[in-house]
Chain A
Amino acid sequence: MPLLTMEGISKRYGGVTALSGADLEVEAGSIHAILGENGAGKSTLIKVLSGVVPADEGRILLDGKEMHFASPAAANAAGVVCVFQELSLIPELSVADNIVISNPPMRFGMIDRAEQRRIAEAALARAGASDIHPRALVKDLPLSRRQMVEIAKALARNPRILILDEATSALTAADVGRIYDVLKRLRSEGLALLYISHRMNEIAELADRCTVFRNGHNVSSYDQGTRSDAEVIEMMIGREYSAAFPERAPVPADARPVLETRNLGWNGRLSDISFTLREGEVIGLGGLDGQGQRELLLALFGVLRGLEGDILVAGKPVNLTSPAAARSEAVGMALIPEDRKTEGLMLPMSVRQNLSFAALDRVTRAGVVDRRQEQQLIDEMVRLLAIKTGGLDLPVGALSGGNQQKVVIAKWLMRAPRIILLNDPTRGIDVGTKQEIYQLMRKLAAEGAAILFYSTDYDELIGCCDRVLVLYDGRIRSELAGEELTEHALVASAMNLDDSVAETTA
């Protein structure tokens, strides 16, 4: 008998059907991957299973007994624990506070802080993240460390069914390796793991069985390894999968430099960064997460104070003291931020307002927004990026992740920027949208934009970039281009290893 059975699960949000008659069976002691584009119903399935939203129809059976989860707490109590893609950590509390939050150890009616510390240290060690201090505040940790805390927190609850929803999307390559070991150990301990990921290589490495979702129900279940990648992707998107990355033409040797940095440094986190980005060129930023890539983008966009070195735009030194200065006509810079929910969008405001927000000054006549011109620009962008909305006046928070990301990009493209900084724009979005973003990047480059592109996905860097600068400890560790731009070389540089070492150990 399977440990978990979900039968005929349906869920509607207003007029939108998120799930219709979805089935799923998961065995104990196995890793079960769930695949599907964003909007295929994976997230809703997970929310139903973990008690966040109730299903309209259908049954959930655990060990053959029917369960009704009224809240995440009830699901936890039954042994169903979810590591959410939208982090569930409380920023102002410490790592240890967060790990024990749902069931703190008690002594004389109060939380036993010594015991709490012990549990937290044990859970962090079990997740392979002993480098995180239990007293550190979550809000002071970088995204990848928070994700490790999130996993440690789930493990501290001794789950029988552990759900990982894009749990590795923010992790560094080294952490992903450790998490693989942890997950395999949990499988051998008899847990059932539900694994949701957009990364095919992770699924190949981990999963025993896969279920593909499309349009709100399961289209196929199969043992891992019995379908080719192309077949799987075809099942997911329901159409032929074309070449993953668009063709690119070499950047002409006489292309004008658009953005240049000379010995850029900041606060010990960036040092001696020098590069030249030319018209029509896409430069990738590689390396492990948290090696200064985010700081470099923020420095260029005028967010950091106390910079050393020079930034030159079109050959002239500039002193950018705010994003407003960076996006001005004279500079023409745009930054697509890392966290679309906090830095990219105003979630409760309408799609329309979000789209035109960064370009309002361009459609303003005598202090008043020209609605016709605004609409014209918006129409153009919605067409260019194929943004799917139920209406421009709905809150942008109601869109799927992929479409939200398109809105963030569109909002900046409206300014027709000459320099585009991208901070991991494809994290946690579906294959189809990723494709569209790759195409768009090449199109913009071909039209003369200069693009600086940070990604945690090595395939993307190889497929999209003319050159890649690998950062390590705030410095440019190496520059890779052409034949040298391989996954081996990227990993080796990111780990600060000699190429020869990587070749022999790989």
Chain B
Amino acid sequence: MNESRYWIAERRGTLIAIAVFLAMFVIYIANHPVGLTANVAQTAANKGVLLAFVVVAQALVVITGGIDLSVGMVLVLTNCIASWIVVGTPMQTGLGVLGVLGSGILCGALNGAIVIYGRLQPIITTIATGAIFFGLALILRPYPGGSVNEDLADAMTGQIFGVVPTSLILLAGALLVLWVPFRGSPLGRGAFAAGSSEVAAYMSGVPIHRCKFAAYVLAGLFGSLGGLFLTFYTYTGEAAYASGDGYTLWSIAAVVLGGVSLYGGRGSAVGAVFGAFTARTIGDMLFVFDVDALWQPLLQGVFLVLAISIGAIALLRVRNRLDWFE
């Protein structure tokens, strides 16, 4: 096998995710009454980026071989916090943003500490911490309300040069500053290694605790970026239980769409982002086809199954049945 085929093999999951998104998005735009205008792109990007932050957070935990059922509640909690503190003068607003991101880091650190040092299973740990995060959110915002620095919010959800959605730049920036260095560092490699085979990583002298902890902390940070962006998008804070759980479940579907292995050890944030965009497009698809609202959840489910099947198509070509179990 030559170098370029290795290059493709290493990125297979991500490339499939991009292809699936493009296919879905083309169908969506082709049937859109207005077509691809700057405003349509802006709306699609804002909704996509919002989910993408949560999905990247989920992907970070899934790569270590875990799962984060609290990720939607981190979003809800940081949204409520932001609706109190991301206000006032530019200086105050800036400190408020740091406060929101810091609280996301704390959420991630709490999950990581319990899972790694307390040796509890991620699935049950994050159900419990998710309830805690929601409880805090509810105390902060018993009723929807609050506000946000509207200049900043409009800038972040608007357009640059009247064409490019700012939110895409924000997401790309976050990946460049956070994901790329993590992926290239020994910490990141250790997180992948721990997800692929924790025993082998330990035996190789990898500091697996530190590596996994870093992934959980980063996941918390991405969750709070989502919470912050939600506040920019809605101008308010709301402790919405159903919406938090919705984000959590869609984040799991989207990491799979993004080519991240639920068994751990394989995947990329870029794939996760396109998984999120695909998931959003599935949700929006039904508007352009003008489907009765009653039918929407059912059809969304059908579309989701179809989209995930595309990634699984390779299994039809399997000639050794043992490959099914890998």
Interface residues of A (CB under 8 A from B): 52, 71-73, 76, 84, 86-94, 97-98, 101-102, 104, 106, 109-111, 133, 135-137, 139, 153, 266-267, 295, 298, 302-306, 322, 343
B192 at the interface (CB under 8 A from A): yes
Q: Is the CB of B185 within 8 A of A135?
A: no
Q: Is the CB of B189 within 8 A of A101?
A: yes
Q: Is the CB of A93 within 8 A of B3?
A: no
- Could you say which residues of chain B place their CB within 8 Å of the CB of A86? 199, 203
Nearest CB in chain A: distance from B173 CB, A: 18
Residue from A71, A88, A97, A322 in contact with B189 in the complex, judged by beta carbons closer than 8 Å: A97
B165 at the interface (CB under 8 A from A): no
Binds A, one of B84-92, B289-297, B305-313, B315-323: B315-323
List 16 other contacts, CB 8 Å, given A92-B197, A109-B181, A111-B184: A72-B203, A72-B205, A90-B197, A91-B265, A92-B192, A92-B196, A92-B266, A93-B265, A101-B205, A110-B181, A110-B185, A111-B186, A305-B318, A305-B319, A322-B321, A343-B322
- Could you say which residues of chain A place their CB within 8 Å of the CB of B319? 266-267, 304-306
Closest 10 CB pairs of A and B: A73-B205, A92-B265, A110-B184, A92-B196, A88-B203, A135-B6, A102-B205, A90-B193, A90-B196, A88-B200
Tell me, in angstroms, the Cα distance from A90 to B264 when the chains sit together: 12
Interface residues of B (CB under 8 A from A): 1, 3, 6, 9-10, 181, 184-186, 189, 192-193, 195-197, 199-207, 261, 264-266, 318-322, 326
Tell me, in angstroms, the Cα distance from A110 to B264 when the chains sit together: 22
Given contact pairs A304-B319, A304-B321, A305-B318, A93 touches B189 in the complex (Cβ within 8 A): yes
Closest to A104 in B: B186
Consensus secondary structure, chain B interface = helix
Tell me, in angstroms, the Cα distance from A84 to B197 when the chains sit together: 15
Nearest CB in chain B: distance from A464 CB, A: 27
Best-buried of B3, B9, B186 by chain A (most CB within 10 Å): B186
Q: Is the CB of A90 within 8 A of B205?
A: no
Given contact pairs A90-B193, A91-B196, A111-B184, A71 touches B1 in the complex (Cβ within 8 A): no
Closest to A89 in B: B200
Consensus secondary structure, chain A interface = loop
Nearest CB in chain A: distance from B49 CB, A: 26
Q: Is the CB of B204 within 8 A of A111?
A: no
Q: Is the CB of B326 within 8 A of A111?
A: no
Q: Is the CB of B6 within 8 A of A91?
A: no
- Could you say which residues of chain A place their CB within 8 Å of the CB of B321? 302-305, 322
- Could you say which residues of chain A place their CB within 8 Å of the CB of B186? 104, 106, 111
- Could you say which residues of chain A place their CB within 8 Å of the CB of B6? 133, 135-136
Closest to A75 in B: B205
Nearest CB in chain B: distance from A122 CB, A: 18
- Could you say which residues of chain B place their CB within 8 Å of the CB of A76? 205
- Could you say which residues of chain A place their CB within 8 Å of the CB of B322? 298, 303, 343
Closest to B181 in A: A110
Q: Is the CB of B185 within 8 A of A73?
A: no
A–B complex contacts, Cβ < 8 Å, 23 sampled: A71-B205, A72-B202, A72-B204, A73-B205, A88-B204, A89-B197, A90-B197, A90-B201, A91-B200, A91-B265, A93-B192, A94-B10, A97-B189, A101-B193, A101-B204, A102-B206, A110-B184, A111-B184, A135-B3, A135-B6, A136-B6, A295-B320, A305-B321
Nearest CB in chain A: distance from B62 CB, A: 13
Q: Is the CB of A298 within 8 A of B192?
A: no
Tell me, in angstroms, the Cα distance from A109 to B180 when the chains sit together: 12
- Could you say which residues of chain B place their CB within 8 Å of the CB of A94? 10
Q: Is the CB of A93 within 8 A of B196?
A: yes
Closest to A94 in B: B10
Closest to B264 in A: A92
Tell me, in angstroms, the Cα distance from A320 to B202 when the chains sit together: 41
Q: Is the CB of A298 within 8 A of B320?
A: yes
Q: Is the CB of A90 within 8 A of B185?
A: no
Nearest CB in chain B: distance from A142 CB, A: 13
Tell me, in angstroms, the Cα distance from A458 to B199 when the chains sit together: 33
- Could you say which residues of chain A place their CB within 8 Å of the CB of B203? 52, 72, 84, 86, 88
